[in-house]
Amino acid sequence: MKAVAVSVFHNLGRAVRAALLLLPLILAVLWCGRLTAGDIVRPGELWPDESGRHINAHGGGILAYGGRYYWYGEDKDARTNAALVGVSCYSSRNLKKWRRLSVALSVDTTDAASPIARGCIIERPKVIYCAGTGKFVMWFHLELRDKGYRAAMAGVAVADRPEGPFRFLRASRVNAGRLPSGYTEEDVQMLDSLRYTMKLKWWTPEWRRGVEAGVYMRRDMDGGQMARDMQLFVDSDGKAYHIYASEENLTIQIAELTDDYTAHTGRYVRVAPGGQNEATVLFRHGGYYWMITSGCTGWAPNAARLYRARSIMGPWEGNLYNPCCEGNDRRPVEKTFLGQGTYALPYGKGIIFMADEWRPNHPSDGRYLWLPISFDRDGGPQIKWRDSWSLKKLKAGKYNDYPE
Ligand code: DGJ
């Protein structure tokens, strides 16, 4: 009898010991379940993919194609912002559960002289589908290996399938030899006479006059315009545009793409000259093109700005106001809730503002801040912080008090 009792106790002890050992695993599984279940988005929390790993698609954008969503982004390393892998691609049917499909664009591990050699910087990749050619076209901001942020180039790659593999076509500055729309040869002479302003102290009124007139654009005319933080936008007529921080990050430029989306037509405009904007996010609503941007403070967050236009090629009005209108101490509006915009995704009757919360000391741990965009009674966009929100409600237009 005593022996049976000892054996039961012993076995019980083993079961308890095993349960204790497994507890962290059980808790992790439950935690993952909480983060991936249902239609609830929790901005700033870990976002595991179907395999349980935090999604690694930073500075990303989303393509809706064939009843699925494809999320492309920077596949970041734990220690460096340099591209060691390339551009990742995840797919989802509901925007909540994501499966990692592939490395859509791989860095070149064999040729150290390649513009996309392992160790280069690839940022803010975006993919659009070209109905005319049936190809998927990716553009990204490229910086050459070991050259810091000096190259300021745009890279382009194409694929036959949304998940890739994307074939790298080329990287270059933008629209070499071209003047922005509306500029004349007389303007070029005027800019040449203002060349000296580039040597002045930044932010002095005279320096600013030169910047606004376009002295940096003129400086880069031969070699092409600088192109850093970038966005793509396909308009309702099928025309596509490349939007990028140019002219030493002082001025946004919007450049029209060719019909196959793989090159620039030469037509471009300057937006908010001297406004020092980056991280552009574009969407249409209420007869306007809206552009949310950030200031330029590296990886540190700052206040978002808002611009609008009746035509994508301008004229653009703004800075109008900070569209982030309700936050809290942990998620302040004057710091874009600690994020920086990367994309706007129309979803049913709603639009999602996608932003990155960068973690420069642990880049792959960067978080995703997805939030509903609502509109005020005058049709102006507003973004409120929410610890959690429902994709279903957003789709049904529930986060927008003043629908179109
Ligand atoms: C802010 C940009 O938005 C990012 O994409 C990245 O280029 C960092 N600056 C680098 O400091």
Write the DSSP assignment of 339-359 as a string of letters.
-EEEEEEEETTEEEEEEEE--
Q: What is the CA radius of gyration of the chain?
A: 24
The answer to whether the CB of 305 falls within 8 A of the CB of 292 is: yes
Q: How far apart are CA 154 and CA 279, in angstroms?
A: 15
The closest residue, in CA terms, to atom 9 on ligand 1 is 298
Indicate if the pLDDT at residue 36 is higher than 80.
no
Cα(167) to centroid(ligand 1), Å: 25
Q: How far apart are CA 321 and CA 344, in angstroms?
A: 18
- Which tokens hold the place of 357? 């919360």
Range with the poorest average pLDDT among 37-46, 168-177, 262-271: 37-46
**Helical H segments across 45-93, by residue range:** none
The closest residue, in CA terms, to atom 10 on ligand 1 is 298
Q: Looking at residue 34, what is its pLDDT?
A: 54
Q: How confident is the model at residue 197 (pLDDT cuts 50, 70, 90)?
A: very high
Indicate if the pLDDT at residue 368 is higher than 60.
yes
What's the mean pLDDT in 151-178?
98
Residue 169: Cβ within 10 Å count: 13
Indicate if the pLDDT at residue 26 is higher than 80.
no
Cα(298) to centroid(ligand 1), Å: 5
Q: How far apart are CA 380 and CA 195, in angstroms?
A: 39
3-class DSSP assignment, residue 135: strand
What's the mean pLDDT in 45-67?
98
Cα(64) to centroid(ligand 1), Å: 25
What's the mean pLDDT in 11-29?
57
Q: Looking at residue 102, what is its pLDDT?
A: 86
DSSP 331: S
Indicate if the pLDDT at residue 2 is higher than 70.
no
Q: How confident is the model at residue 37 (pLDDT cuts 50, 70, 90)?
A: low
Q: How far apart are CA 83 and CA 332, in angstroms?
A: 30
Task: Enter the pTM of the model.
Answer: 0.92
The burial of 67, by beta-carbon neighbours within 10 Å (0-12 exposed, 13-18 middle, 19 or more buried), is given as exposed
Q: Looking at residue 276, what is its pLDDT?
A: 98
Q: How far apart are CA 319 and CA 317, in angstroms?
A: 7
Cα(297) to centroid(ligand 1), Å: 8
The phi and psi torsions of 57 (rounded to 5 degrees) equal -150, 70
Is the CB of residue 163 below 6 angstroms from any atom belonging to ligand 1? no
Which residues, 6 or more positions from 336, have their beta carbon under 8 angstroms from its beta carbon?
Answer: 294, 301, 302, 303, 304, 324, 355
Query: pLDDT tens digits, residue range 199-222?
Result: 999 999 999 999 999 999 999 999
Q: Which of 29, 166, 146, 147 is nearest to 101 (CA)?
A: 166
Q: Looking at residue 343, what is its pLDDT?
A: 99
Q: How far apart are CA 91 and CA 109, in angstroms?
A: 25
Q: How far apart are CA 241 and CA 282, in angstroms?
A: 11
Indicate if the pLDDT at residue 305 is higher than 50.
yes
Which residues, 6 or more positions from 95, have their beta carbon under 8 angstroms from its beta carbon?
Answer: 41, 69, 345, 347, 352, 391
The answer to whether the CB of 396 falls within 8 A of the CB of 349 is: yes
- Which tokens hold the place of 395? 């789709």
Is the CB of residue 59 below 6 angstroms from any atom belonging to ligand 1? yes
Is the CB of residue 298 below 6 angstroms from any atom belonging to ligand 1? yes
Closest ligand 1 atom to residue 59 Cα is: 5
The closest residue, in CA terms, to atom 11 on ligand 1 is 298
- The average confidence (pLDDT) of the chain is 94
What's the mean pLDDT in 360-369?
98
Cα(118) to centroid(ligand 1), Å: 19
Q: Looking at residue 131, what is its pLDDT?
A: 98
Indicate if the pLDDT at residue 6 is higher than 60.
no
Cα(338) to centroid(ligand 1), Å: 14
Is the CB of residue 242 below 6 angstroms from any atom belonging to ligand 1? no
What is the residue type of 399? Y
What's the mean pLDDT in 359-383?
97
The closest residue, in CA terms, to atom 3 on ligand 1 is 279
Q: How confident is the model at residue 319 (pLDDT cuts 50, 70, 90)?
A: very high
Indicate if the pLDDT at residue 156 is higher than 50.
yes
Q: How confident is the model at residue 1 (pLDDT cuts 50, 70, 90)?
A: very low
Cα(360) to centroid(ligand 1), Å: 10
Which of 336, 340, 343, 356 maximizes ligand 1 atoms within 8 Å of its Cβ, making it the mutation to test the pocket?
340
- Which tokens hold the place of 264? 């620039």
Q: How far apart are CA 326 and CA 219, in angstroms?
A: 42
